[in-house]
């Protein structure tokens, strides 16, 4: 885990507004996550969750890549961002306009996992962990379900993927149901 510079909420919102404006054309859907979404006065995690637009990566269209990759290359070239780590679903950057640099997390999610991923990426981490842990293991998730590879799966006679197109869809599986982002994780994670 990288050291995270803590910044005021308003400053984090400015960073996200700038990055969102640049990245939005490359995404089908975009939402702010982390402590900005929870409206924490001091922010340690600047996060965006997106469903990226895809493009063919080879002559026959057998492989696709997120078009947002091109945007990241351009932002790195302008010295606005520096890549810390990344793969096809997650990237972490230093936002270089702040001193010291602010850590920025970017999550690329499957449309069928939008609802659960937005809930998980809103945090805080203890609450997110409880969201993906089954009740029989002291978590909040209904025991018939599991979260794997960013998607929700249900077991009847075999495991089947269950689309979670919106965040409230996911919270229907959670003990206690929907909880506003700004109060998530307050108090015991299991008491909603």
Q: Are residues 152 and 93 in the same domain?
A: no
Cβ burial, residue 130 (10 Å; 0-12/13-18/19+): buried
Q: How far apart are CA 74 and CA 57, in angstroms?
A: 18
Q: What is the number of residues in the chain? A: 192
Domain range for 140 is 125-183
Is residue 57 included in any domain, yes or no?
Answer: yes
Q: What pLDDT was estimated at residue 8?
A: 95
Claim to verify: residue 17 and residue 95 sit in the same structural domain: yes
User: Of 57, 108, 113, 102, whose CA–CA distance to 86 is shortest?
Assistant: 108
In a domain, 118, yes or no: no
Please check whether residue 121 is in contact with residue 49, taking contact to mean a CB–CB distance below 8 angstroms: yes
Residue 117 domain flag:
no
48 within some domain: yes
* Chain segment 78-100, per-residue pLDDT in tens: 999 999 998 889 999 999 988 88
Give the integer Cα–Cα distance in Å for 171 and 61.
36
The residue among 71 and 132 whose pLDDT is bigger is: 132
- Residue 48: name the closest of 74, 18, 76 by CA: 18
Q: Does the pLDDT value for residue 62 go beyond 80?
A: no
Per the CB < 8 A criterion, the answer to whether 119 and 170 are in contact is: yes
Q: Residues 115-173: pLDDT tens digits?
A: 999 999 999 999 999 999 999 999 999 999 999 999 999 999 999 999 999 999 999 99
CATH number at residue 12: 3.30.460.10
User: Residue 140 in contact with residue 132, Cβ under 8 Å?
Assistant: no
Taking residue 135's Cβ as centre, other Cβ atoms within 10 Å add up to: 16
Claim to verify: residue 85 and residue 165 sit in the same structural domain:
no
Same domain, 11 and 59: yes
Kindly give, in sequence order, each residue whose CB lies less than 8 Å from that of residue 146, ignoring residues fewer than 6 positions away: 132, 134, 152, 153, 155, 159
Quick: pLDDT tens for 14-47: 999 999 999 999 999 999 999 999 999 999 878 9
How wide is the angle at C-alpha 171 spanned by C-alphas 104 and 142, nearest 5°? 115
Is residue 72 a part of any domain in this protein? yes
Q: Does some domain include residue 190?
A: no
- Examine the domain organization and report whether 94 and 140 are in the same domain: no
- Supply the pTM of this predicted model: 0.89
């Amino acid at each position: 885990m990288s050291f995270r510079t803590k910044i005021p909420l308003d400053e984090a919102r400015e960073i996200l507004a700038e990055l969102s404006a640049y990245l939005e054309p490359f995404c089908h859907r975009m939402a702010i996550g982390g402590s900005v979404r929870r409206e924490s006065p001091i922010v340690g995690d600047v996060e965006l969750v997106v469903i990226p637009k895809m493009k063919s990566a080879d002559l026959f269209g057998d492989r696709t890549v997120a078009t947002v990759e091109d945007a990241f290359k351009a932002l790195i070239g302008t010295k606005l961002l520096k890549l810390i780590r990344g793969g096809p679903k997650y990237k972490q950057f230093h936002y270089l306009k702040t001193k010291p640099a602010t850590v920025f997390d970017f999550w690329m999610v499957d449309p069928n996992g939008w609802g659960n991923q937005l809930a998980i990426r809103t945090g805080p981490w203890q609450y997110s962990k409880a969201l993906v842990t089954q009740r029989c293991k002291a978590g909040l998730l209904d025991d018939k379900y599991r979260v794997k590879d960013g998607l929700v799966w249900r077991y009847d006679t075999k495991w089947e993927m269950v689309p979670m197109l919106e965040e409230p869809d996911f919270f229907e599986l959670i003990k206690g149901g929907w909880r506003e982002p700004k109060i998530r994780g307050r108090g015991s994670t299991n008491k909603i």
